Structure 1
C-alpha cells in the first residue's frame, strides 16, 4: 500500500520545514503550484535530500514541444511523480512522456478536477457527456499515450481500473475523514472508501496540514487507508 501523499499547501520554505519537522519518518509529499512558484526547484531538491518522495503537481498544459522541453527540465529534479492536463491531448501527453525519458519519474494526467461537478463541466467546458464518461475518456487517452496513470476522484477509480487495468495509477485527491468538511472539493471520499474503490494513491491536505497534531492525523489517515482500523 502506497503512503498517503501529503499536500504541502504552503507558500514558503520556512513553513514547509516547520511542518516536516513534526515527522520522524520519510513521507510522500505533494509540491503544487503555489509552493513551486514561490520557492522553485531548490525547494524540491531540499525536500528530496531529506529523504521524502515528491509528487510535483504542476499540471502542465501547452503545445507538445513546450511541454516536452519543460519535462526534460523537471526530470533533472528526480521527483517521483508529476503530471499534465489530459485535456492537452494525446500528442501533448506523448511529448511529456518523451521529455521524461531516462528518468524514474512517473507521469500521470489530470482528468477532471475534484472541484468540478457535472453541471460545471457542461456549462464551462461545453462537454455534454456525463462526468464519468469524460474522466474515462481522458484516462483511456492517457493510457494510449503511454502514461502511468491519472488524477481522478475516488468515484471514478473503480471504473478506470476496469478499462485501464489495476496497475494503472489512480491518484485521488479530495480525501477527508468522515467528520471533516469538504471545503472547495465537490467529489470527496474517506481513505477507506478510496481503498475499496481501487485508488492506488490518496492525496490529503488540510486534514493533516491544518491539524493540531499533524503526525497523529497522518497516522490515523494512513491506518484507515491501509485497512488497519
Structure 2
C-alpha cells in the first residue's frame, strides 16, 4: 500500500462567522489521480489552499508529507496549486508566468511545457497579459504549470474551465502520462462523467463542511451494490457511484 501523502483530522476553516470546513477528515495515498468533488461553495478551493500551505486552518490537523503545510517551505516546494483563480500577477504575460513557474519548481520539465503549449495551440496567446486572457486560456496556463512542474503533489482547481473538447482531451492525455510516473494529483472538478474515467478515488465534500464519502475506483462495483444502484440499460460504473454520492451529500 502506498504511503499517505495527505492526512486531515477534524480540519476546520472559518471566515469570520462563516464555517466553510467543519471537521474534514481523510487520508489520501500517494500516486494516482484523485477527485475532490462537491457542490459549489462547500470549500473545495479552500481545502486545496490549506493543503498547499497557502492558507492557515482554523482548527483540527493536516499533514502533507508528514509535515504541517502552512507557510512551510519543506512542503510548499513539493506542491503545485493551479487553477484559473490562482493569483498570478494580472499584468504579467503568459510567457512571464510560465518563466516564473520554471524558476519556482526544481523538477520543471521545459520540454513537456513546450509540447503542452503546442498541443493547446496557445503560443500566440501567451504574449497577452494574464488579465486579458479568456478563462479557457488561463486554465491552459494553469494546466501547463501543474503538469510540467514535476511537483510530487499537484492540486488542480477546476482544470476544465473554458476548455473545448479538443483541449480537454489534450489535458487528459498529458495528465495520464505523467501520473503513470508515480506523481500524485488532486483534482477539484464538476465534470464527473469525464473525470470518473481517470480517477483513482473520489473525495466528496458535503454541504455540512465534512467529508461525506471517500470511495475508490477499484471498489466501484461494491459501492454500487451497497448503494443499491442499478441501470437496466448498461452496467453501473464509478461515475454513477460518484453522481449518487454527490446527490445525497
Q: Compute the TM-score of the two structures, normalised by the length of structure 1.
A: 0.40
Q: Compute the TM-score of the two structures, normalised by the length of structure 2.
A: 0.37
Indicate the structure with greater helix content: 1
- Larger RCO (CA within 8 A; separation ≥ 6): 2
Rg (Cα) greater in structure? 2
